[in-house]
Amino acid sequence: KAGVTQTPRYLIKTRGQQVTLSCSPISGHRSVSWYQQTPGQGLQFLFEYFSETQRNKGNFPGRFSGRQFSNSRSEMNVSTLELGDSALYLCASSPTGGFAKNIQYFGAGTRLSVL
Amino acid sequence: DAKTTQPTSMDCAEGRAANLPCNHSTISGNEYVYWYRQIHSQGPQYIIHGLKNNETNEMASLIITEDRKSSTLILPHATLRDTAVYYCIVRVDRNRDDKIIFGKGTRLHILP
C-alpha cells in the first residue's frame, strides 16, 4: 500500500497570503489528522476529520481550517499568513477500526516558510 | 499539557540495548501507551503500543509496570539508524473527544 502523501513538500509564502495543503491518506483509512510542528512548540494537534466531518479540534485560531472529501483526501487552509505560521505541517491517517484503529501513519510533511 | 514525562536526551552505544523510560503517573484505566519516533526531517513513525501487558514486535519491546504509571521502550540492538526523537503518548479510544498530545520526547543518540 502507498503511504500517506502530502503535497507540496515545500512552500514559500509571504505574510497576508493564504495557503492550501493537501493530504492523501492510506487507502481504506477514513480518519485524517493534521499537526503543526515548530522547534519551539513541538508537535501540536490541529484537527481531525472522519467521514468528511471534523471530529476533533486543537487550540488554533480560526485562520486554520480544513476539510475532507468523500474519498478521504483532506486539505487544510491557512488564511492571512503570519510569520509564526512557518512550520512543518504533518498529516496522519488511521484505520477505521480494530486493535490498530488508534495508530497514526504520518506523511513526510509540508514545510511552509512565511516571509 | 502532555500526560507523559520523558528525559530530554539519552545516549546509547551501537549494538547495545536502548532503554527509553516514560512516566505517565496519571494514566487512566482505559488509556493505551503509544510510542512513535521521528527521524530528522521525516514524519513520526509508529513503533508499538500497549494497555497493560508487555508487547513485542519486530521493532521494539514495550514494558509497562504493573501499576501502569510508567513504561520502557526497548530497542534490543540499537543501530545508527535508530537516532531519532522518541515520543511516548497516552490516549483512550479515538472515538471519544480526545486530543493527541505529543510532549517534547527523548532525543536518542546512537554512538558508533
**Which grid coordinates are listed for B20?**
527509553
pLDDT grade for A64, boundaries at 50, 70 and 90:
very high
**Which residue of B99, B101, B104 is the best one to mutate when testing the A interface, meaning the one whose CB has the most A CBs within 10 A?**
B99
User: What was the pLDDT predicted at A70?
Assistant: 95
Average pLDDT value for residue range A20-47: 93
Cα-only R_g, chain A:
14
**Residues B24-69: pLDDT tens digits?**
998 888 788 999 999 988 999 999 999 888 999 999 999 999 999 9
Q: Which of residues 81-110 of B touch A (CB under 8 A)?
A: 87, 91, 93-94, 97-105
Q: Which of residues 46-85 of A touch B (CB under 8 A)?
A: 56, 58
Residue B3 neighbours by CB under 8 Å, 6+ apart: B24, B26, B27, B31, B89, B90, B101
- DSSP state, residue A65: E
The answer to whether A102 contacts B94, with C-beta atoms less than 8 Å apart, is: yes
